[in-house]
A and B are shown apart, each in its own frame.
Chain A
Amino acid sequence: MTSYFIRRVLLIVPTFIGVSLLVFTLTRLVPGGPIERMLNEAAMAGNEMGASAMVGGYDGVGGSTLSAEQLEELKAYYGFDKPVLISYLEWLGKVLVLDLGTSTRYGEPVWDTIRDRFPISIFYGVTTLILTYGVCIPLGIAKAIRHKSSFDNITSVIVFFGYAIPSYVVGIAVLTLFASEWELFPLGGFVSDDFEDLGFWDQVRDVFNHAVLPLLAYLAGSFAVTTLMMKNALMDNLAADYVRTAVAKGMAFKRAVFRHALRNSLIPIATSFGSNISLILTGSFLIEKIFNIDGFGLLGFESLVERDYPIVMGILVISSLLFLIGNILSDICVALVDPRVRFGSDGAAG
C-alpha cells in the first residue's frame, strides 16, 4: 500500500508538467497577450492625444508608438523572445524555487497576490465543504431510511430545486431580498471596513454576517448530488444480505443501519471526496463578483480576461497540485473505509 502511494505521489510530477506545459503553450497561442495589449493601449493613448502621426488609426506592430527596440525589450521582459519550450523551462525552474513571477497587471509578485486571496477562498471553500457533507450525509441517511415517505419526497423537491437554479441567480435573489430589501445582512465584501477595530467575537460575527448570503448561493446547488449519492448507496446496502444477517443475529434494524450499512455506503462518498477538495480554492467568480468577495474565482477570471498570464499560471500551479493531491487523498479515504482495497503488491488486489 505504501509503495502504491509513493508511486502516486511520484506520478504527480509528469502529470503536473503535462498540464502546465499545455496551458503555458496556450498562453502563447491565444491572441491578445500582454505585448499586444501594451501596444494597443499605447496606440489608444496616442489616438486620444490627437497625435497627428496616427491618422488612419492603429496600424499594427511597428507603429510609431513603440520603437522596434522597445518592443524587443518588452518581449524579452515577458520571455516571449525565446521558443516556448525554453521559456517554459525557465518558468518551471522559477516555480521550483517558489517564484511564480510578477503579475503583468498589478506589477506585484504573483505569490503575494494569490496569498492575499487565500484566507478568503479557504474560508468559503472549507465552510462549503463542511456544510455540504454535514448536511448531505445525515440527510441522505434520513431519506434512505424513510424512502418514499413525504419527508423523502419533500426534501427531494427542495434539493433539486436548489440544484436547478443557477447559483448566481440564488446569489442575486438573496442579496436583493435579505441585504437590499430587508437589510438583514451586509451587501457584500468579506469583512466590514472597521473590521480591525472590532473585538474578537465581533470580528467572528462580522465574518459570519458577511458569509451567510454567499454561502447560501454556494450551497443551494451543492446538496443534490452528494445527498442522492448517499441515499442511493445506503438504500443498496440496506437491502444487502449482510444487513439481513445482522438483523438475524438479533440486532435492531436501526442499529444495523448505523453499524453495518453506513460504512459501506460511505465508500462512494469517499471516492468523490478528493475532487471536492480541489473545489475549495476554485470558488465561483460569479458569486464572488455578486458579493464583491476577492477570492480565487474572481482573480482567475480577471487575470484570464486581462491576459495576466503569470497569475493564470500561478493559479494553475496551485489548483492542479491540489487536484492531484486530492485524488490521492480520495484513494487514502477509500482504503481507510474499505479493507478490500489494497493497492499494489502487498495483499491481493481488491
Chain B
Amino acid sequence: MADLPILSVVGLSAAFATEQGIVSVVDGVSFDLSAGATLGLVGESGCGKSVTALSIMGLLPKPAGRVTGGRILFKGEDLLALSAEQYQRIRGNRIAMIFQEPTTALNPVHRIGRQLIETLDMHRPELSKREKTAAAVELLDRVGIPAPDQRLRDYPHQLSGGMRQRVLIAIALACRPDVLIADEPTTALDVTIQAQILELMRELQREYGMGILFITHDLGVVAELCDEVVVMYAGRVVERAGVAALFANPRHPYSEGLLASIPRLESVPKTRLVTIPGMVPALSDMPDGCRFRNRCSRASNRCQVEPPLVAAGAGRVVACHHATGVDE
C-alpha cells in the first residue's frame, strides 16, 4: 500500500494574472502522499503553499489563477484532465480540505447541521434525511463536540473558534475522504486549542486512514504530526525528506535556516532569535538560478544556474549546489 501514493503531484506549476502580467507563483512542485501518512508542507509566507493546495482542490481563484503545468494524480488519475462535474464528485468526497480561518469558513446565516449535511446531500444522495442527520450527529460527536444533536441547530456565531474548526473538520471528514488537505488549520487558534485539534486530527487519521497534506509555518507542529516534509521556497521545492532526517540534518541552507530560527529551550534566554537574513524577493524580480542565493551564506557563482532536485540519501531530495552531505 505504502508504495503506491494516493496523491502524487508531479511538476506542478501555477500562475496568476496580475497587473504586472502573468506571475508564476508555483514552479515545478512535486511530492507524493501515501495513504495514512502525513506530509508537511512548510515555507515562509507567500511561498505558494496555499496555491499548491488550492491547485490540488481545483479551487484557484478564477479567472486570475491557473495551473500552468504538471500533473496531479489521485489514485493514478490526473485530476487536471477531469471535467468540472467529475471534479465536483471528488471534491469534498475523496479529497477534502480545511482552511485557516474557522471564523469565516462557515456560512454565518446557516445552521451547523445544514452545512454539515450539505456535504452528504451532494455525495451520499442515497441516504435518507434521517440517516444523514444521524450521520451528522455522529460526526460532531466524533470530532469532540459536546451535545452534538443540539449543536446541529446552532449557528456558527454561537460556537467558539476551536469548536468551529471541529465542525469544519467534521464537514471535511463527512464522506471519509482518502486525502485531507489542512491549510494551517490551527494558526488562528490559541495554543491549548491548537494542541487539541492536532491530537484530534491524529486520532481521526488513525481511525479513517486518510493521507494528510498538512500546511504550516510551524516546524514544531511538523515535528509532532508529520512523517515527511516538503520545504518550499519562492514557489519551488528546495528539500524533501523524512521528518527525523530533516530535523537531524537539514541539507538545504534554507531548511537549515528555518530550523535554526525555532527558539529552543536549551538556547540562552533573551538573546536574539536566529533569523534568515533578507526578505523573499518579489516574484516579479526573482534572481535567476537558485532563488535563495541572495540570502544564502553558501552562495557562489554556480548558484546562477538553477540547481536540480537531486537524491540526497534515502528518500530525500535537495535542490542546492552546496547541500551538506551530498557528494560533489
Residues of A at the B interface (CB closer than 8 Å) are: 240-242, 244-252, 259-260, 263-264, 337-340, 348, 350
Q: B59 contacts A242, CB within 8 Å?
A: no
Shortest A99–chain B CB gap in Å is 46
* Cross-interface CB contact of A249 among B108, B118, B157, B158, cutoff 8 Å: B118
Contact A338 B105 (CB under 8 A): no
Q: Does B279 contact A (CB under 8 A)?
A: no
Question: Contacts A339-B155, A340-B157 hold; do A247 and B106 have CB atoms under 8 A apart?
Answer: no
Closest 4 CB pairs of A and B: A250-B92, A249-B92, A241-B104, A242-B107
Are B84 and A252 within 8 A (Cβ)? yes
A242 B105 Cβ-Cβ under 8 A: yes
Question: In the complex, which range does the number of interface residues on chain B fall in?
Answer: 20 to 34
Q: Is the CB of B107 within 8 A of A249?
A: no
Q: Which residues of A sit under 8 angstroms from B123, Cβ to Cβ?
A: 250
Known contacts A242-B104, A264-B107; is A251 also within 8 Å of B99 by CB? no
CA distance A98 to B57 in the complex (A): 66
A to B contact number (C-beta, < 8 Å)? 74
* Sampled A-B contacts (27; CB under 8 Å): A242-B104, A242-B106, A242-B108, A245-B106, A245-B168, A246-B118, A248-B59, A248-B92, A248-B97, A248-B99, A249-B96, A250-B88, A250-B90, A250-B91, A250-B93, A250-B122, A251-B118, A252-B88, A263-B109, A264-B108, A264-B109, A337-B109, A338-B109, A339-B108, A339-B109, A340-B157, A348-B157
> Least Cβ distance of A255 to chain B in Å?
9
Instruction: Note all chain A residues with C-beta closer than 8 A to B104.
Output: 240-242
Closest chain-A Cβ to B223's Cβ sits at a distance in Å of 28
B93 touches A340 (CB 8 A): no
Q: Given the complex of chains A and B, what is the CA–CA distance between A115 and B92 in angstroms?
A: 60
Complexed CA–CA distance, A245 and B107 (Å) = 9
Contacts of A244 in B (CB 8 A): 59, 99, 105
User: In the complex, which residue of chain A has the Cβ closest to the Cβ of B158?
Assistant: A348
Query: What A residues does B99 contact at CB under 8 A?
Result: 241, 244-245, 248
- Give the residues in chain B near A250, CB-CB below 8 Å: 88-93, 119, 122-123
Give a binary string over B71-111; 1 marks a CB under 8 Å from any A CB, 0 the rest.
00000000000001000111111001101010011111110
What residues of chain A lie closer than 8 Å to B57, measured between beta carbons?
248
Tell whether B171 is near chain A: CB-to-CB under 8 Å. Answer: yes
Which residues 134-186 of B have a CB within 8 angstroms of A?
155, 157-158, 168, 171
Interchain nearest-CB distance for A265 vs B (Å):
10
In the complex, the answer to whether A249 meets B91 with C-beta atoms within 8 Å is yes
User: Helix, strand, loop or mixed for chain A's interface?
Assistant: helix
Cβ of A260 to closest chain B Cβ, rounded Å: 5
Beta-carbon contact of B109 and A249 below 8 Å: no
Supply 17 further A-B pairs (C-beta < 8 A) apart from A240-B104, A245-B105, A250-B91.
A241-B101, A241-B104, A242-B106, A244-B99, A248-B96, A248-B99, A249-B92, A249-B118, A249-B119, A249-B171, A251-B118, A264-B107, A338-B108, A339-B157, A340-B108, A340-B157, A348-B158
Residue of B nearest to A244 (CB): B59
CA distance A264 to B106 in the complex (A): 12
How near does chain A come to B278, taking the closest CB pair, in angstroms? 32
Question: CA–CA, A7 to B317, complex, Å?
Answer: 70
CB nearest to A261 among chain B residues: B107
A245 to B92 alpha-carbon distance, docked (Å)? 9
Interface centre among A263, A339, A350 (most CB of B within 10 A): A339
Residue of A at shortest CB range from B89? A250
Which residues of chain A are within 8 angstroms of B89 by Cβ–Cβ distance? Answer: 250
Say whether, besides A250-B92, A339-B157, A340-B157, A245 and B171 are in contact (CB < 8 Å): yes
CA distance A246 to B115 in the complex (A): 8
A247 and B108 form a contact (CB under 8 A): no
Of chain B, the residue at the smallest CB distance from A263 is B109
Q: Within the complex, what minimum Cβ distance (angstroms) separates B173 from chain A?
A: 12
Complex Cα distance, B166 from A229, in Å, reads: 34
With a cutoff of 8 Å between Cβ atoms, the chain A residues found around residue B108 in the complex are 242, 264, 338-340
Neighbouring B residues of A338 by C-beta, 8 Å: 108-109
Chain B contacts for A246, CB-based, 8 A: 107, 118
Residues of A near B171 (CB, < 8 A) are 245, 249
- Cα A64 to Cα B123 in complex, Å, equals 94
Which residue of chain A lies nearest to B57 when distances are taken between CB atoms in the complex?
A248
Interface centre among A242, A246, A250, A252 (most CB of B within 10 A): A250
Assembled-state Cα–Cα distance A350/B122 (Å): 32
| Docked complex Cα distance between A241 and B168 (Å) | 12
A61 to B325, CA, bound (A): 112
Chain A neighbourhood of B158, CB < 8 A: 348
The distance in angstroms between the C-alpha atoms of A339 and B156, with both chains bound, is 10
CB contacts (< 8 Å) of B101 on chain A: these are 241
Residues of the A chain whose Cβ atoms lie less than 8 Å from the Cβ of B105: 241-242, 244-245
- A240 partner residues in chain B, CB cutoff 8 A: 104
| Contact present for A260 and B110 (CB under 8 Å) | yes
Known contacts A339-B157, A340-B155; A249/B122 CB under 8 A: yes
State whether A248 touches B88 (Cβ < 8 A): no
**Least Cβ–Cβ distance between B102 and chain A, in angstroms:** 9
Min CB gap A193→B, angstroms? 52
Roughly how many angstroms separate A104 CA and B232 CA in the complex, as a whole number? 84
Contacts of A242 in B (CB 8 A): 104-108
Q: Report the bound CA distance from A108 to B108 in whole Å.
A: 55
How far is A155 from B122 in the complex, measured between Cα atoms in Å? 35
Interface centre among A241, A338, A340 (most CB of B within 10 A): A241
CB-CB < 8 A to B97: which residues of A? 248
- B59 x A247 contact (CB < 8 A): yes
**Cβ of B143 to closest chain A Cβ, rounded Å:** 16
Q: How far is the CA of A248 from the CA of B106 in the complex (A)?
A: 12
Q: What residues of B have a CB within 8 angstroms of the CB of A260 in the complex?
A: 107, 110
Q: Which single residue of chain A is at the shortest CB-CB distance from B122?
A: A250
Q: Complex Cα distance A215/B168, Å?
A: 49
- Note all chain A residues with C-beta closer than 8 A to B122: 249-251
